[in-house]
């Protein structure tokens, strides 16, 4: 194998059959599409190259900067491609959540612009959102930027319709699998692959995986966030299932420890989501119909960048004792029992009892707009604090607020479990507060 350019190595990744002794499915062959073997390390190499390559000659002539709204694998691939062409790369984001990836981007020479966000992700309908405004400014910049626009650019999905999908069909001997399971970030890989598989077999069952609403799985969106993605079309998926960070780590550990695949969390989530779906399917078969079926899931990237992410959630894997309680251990019953207040009730309560108001959103979102007098403790930091025990005096009531009221309800349940007598969650979060006419102040 000889190449003249590293981009020629993108694609043509292996399809690995998972040992049935590992997954335990009786009648389904399960395959992993190993996108971690792409040269820049992920499924996004294909999309990044397909999106950026048509504009490169012009960008090189003008000295434009490559820009993308990404804090992960797309940014990594684009930073490398831009560098190879003598161009700069800027990653625009309102939240860099995985520190190793931020460090890697800096090492690659990327510029990182962390914008204050009113929302936690791009909302094209919100013209006041700094990220949306930035997006519009890029479109009007007259060539200073080469913006790859991964959430809206059809060439993202096309990269997978041209490569990933046909490779799967080829490696299955010219047939589409019966099931295809993929995590959804920009929806590029799942919708591009699904398009090809359906052309071979209109019955293929496509399962999209999104992060559980109150959880974070790096690289994929939750069900609310995914609706804001231009490439997302719900008709592509037979079913959209949530996965938690715990599911992702469980799946990842199986791939790493039993299959020799150095998968990252979303590969683990895809394995977990695939096996869960397929087990239900097998259970639903009235009798063994004697048919063998096949299923494919995508392993998007590698484990190394996520050691901190895993350590935080499973300290015991690194030989450390978990010191206290974690938000992941809160049950749905506890959340249902936690005290949530609507906006009108919260406004009255603040006026009458002056609770400590804790805003769990990112510092950027907080700096842009927050409830007057509130204290900002970003949720990851708050989780660390709570591991050490109750961080507030029991004598002062506490109102917790987050973007939409999901995460704050979990923390309210956890603080209640830790013995706080009066902690409440703002139902609907800062978004409901804003929509309900509550006053917000900026820095
Ligand atoms: C680690 C990881 N997994 C999954 C995905 C989802 O892929 P897509 O954007 O094609 O939906 C991404 C996208 O950035 C990712 O970085």
Q: Give per-residue pLDDT as tens, 43-92.
A: 999 999 999 999 999 999 999 999 998 889 999 999 999 999 999 999 98
- 440 CA to middle of ligand 1, Å? 34
- In the predicted model, is pLDDT for residue 222 greater than 70? yes
What's the CA-to-centroid distance between 387 and ligand 1, angstroms? 30
**190 Cβ closer than 6 Å to some ligand 1 atom:** yes
Q: What pLDDT does residue 120 have? A: 46
Instruction: Please give the full DSSP string across 24-79, using - where no structure is assigned.
Output: --SSEEEEEEEGGGSTTSSTHHHHHHHHHGGGHHHHHHHTPEEEES-SSHHHHHHH
Place of tokens 């069900």: 223
Task: Give 318 Cα–ligand 1 centroid separation in angstroms.
Answer: 26
**What are the pLDDT digits (tens) for 132-150?**
777 777 777 777 899 999 9
Can you give the pLDDT at residue 124? 56
Is 72 touching ligand 1 by the criterion CB < 6 Å? yes
C-alpha dist (Å) from residue 256 to 253, 273, 417? 5, 16, 35
Mutate-to-test residue for ligand 1 from 49, 68, 195, 266, highest number of ligand atoms within 8 A of CB: 266
Tell me the average pLDDT across 194-208: 97
Going by alpha carbons, the residue nearest to atom 12 of ligand 1 is 219
Give the DSSP H/E element, type plus range, for residue 205.
Answer: strand 205-211
CA distance 232 to 227: 7
- How does pLDDT run across 364-373, given as a tens digit for each residue? 889 889 999 9
Are the CB atoms for 277 and 179 separated by under 8 Å?
yes
Answer yes or no: are the C-beta atoms of 146 and 86 closer than 8 Å.
no
What are phi and psi for residue 56, nearest 5 degrees?
Answer: -65, -45
pLDDT at position 227 over 90: no
Query: Which atom from ligand 1 is nearest to the alpha carbon of 186?
Result: 9
Q: Give residue 370 CA to ligand 1 midpoint distance, Å.
A: 31
Among 64-78, 272-286, 325-339, the least confident range: 325-339
Cβ contact 236:189 at 8 Å: no
Instruction: Give SS3 for 123.
Output: coil
């Amino acid at each position: 194998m000889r190449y003249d350019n590293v981009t020629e190595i993108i694609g043509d990744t292996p399809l690995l059959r998972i040992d049935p002794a590992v997954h335990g499915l009786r009648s389904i062959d399960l395959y992993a599409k190993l996108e971690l073997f792409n040269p820049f390390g992920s499924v996004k190499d294909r999309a990044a190259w397909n999106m950026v390559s048509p504009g490169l000659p012009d960008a090189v002539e003008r000295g434009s900067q490559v820009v993308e709204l990404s804090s992960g694998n797309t940014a990594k691939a684009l930073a490398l491609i831009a560098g190879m062409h003598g161009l700069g790369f800027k990653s625009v984001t309102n939240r860099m959540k995985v520190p190793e990836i931020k460090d890697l981007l800096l090492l690659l020479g990327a510029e990182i612009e962390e914008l204050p966000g009113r929302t936690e992700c791009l909302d094209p309908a919100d013209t006041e959102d700094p990220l949306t405004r930035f997006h519009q400014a890029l479109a009007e910049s007259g060539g200073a930027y080469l913006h790859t626009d991964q959430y809206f650019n059809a060439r993202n999905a096309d990269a997978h319709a041209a490569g990933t999908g046909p490779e799967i069909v080829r490696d299955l001997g010219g047939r589409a699998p019966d099931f295809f399971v993929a995590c959804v970030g920009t929806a590029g890989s799942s919708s591009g692959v699904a398009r090809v598989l359906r052309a071979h077999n209109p019955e293929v069952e496509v399962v999209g995986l999104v992060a559980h609403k109150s959880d974070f799985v790096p690289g994929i969106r939750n069900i609310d966030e995914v609706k804001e993605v231009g490439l997302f079309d719900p008709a592509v998926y037979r079913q959209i299932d949530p996965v938690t960070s715990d599911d992702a780590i469980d799946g990842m550990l199986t791939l790493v420890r039993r299959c020799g695949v150095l998968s990252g969390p979303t590969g683990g989530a895809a394995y977990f989501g695939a096996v869960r779906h397929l087990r239900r399917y097998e259970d639903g078969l009235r009798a063994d119909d004697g048919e063998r079926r096949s299923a494919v899931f995508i392993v998007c990237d590698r484990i190394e960048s996520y050691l901190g992410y895993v350590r935080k959630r499973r300290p015991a894997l690194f030989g450390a004792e978990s010191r206290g309680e974690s938000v992941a251990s809160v049950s749905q019953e506890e959340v249902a029992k936690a005290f949530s207040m609507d906006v009108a009730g919260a406004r009255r309560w603040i006026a009458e009892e002056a609770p400590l108001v804790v805003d769990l959103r990112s510092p950027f979102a907080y700096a842009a707009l927050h409830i007057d007098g509130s204290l900002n403790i970003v949720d990851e930091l708050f989780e660390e604090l709570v591991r050490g025990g109750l961080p507030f005096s029991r004598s002062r009531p506490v109102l917790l607020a987050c973007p939409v009221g999901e995460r704050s309800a979990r923390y309210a349940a956890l603080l209640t479990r830790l013995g706080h007598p009066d902690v409440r969650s703002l139902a609907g979060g800062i978004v409901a507060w804003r929509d309900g006419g509550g006053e917000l102040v900026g820095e």
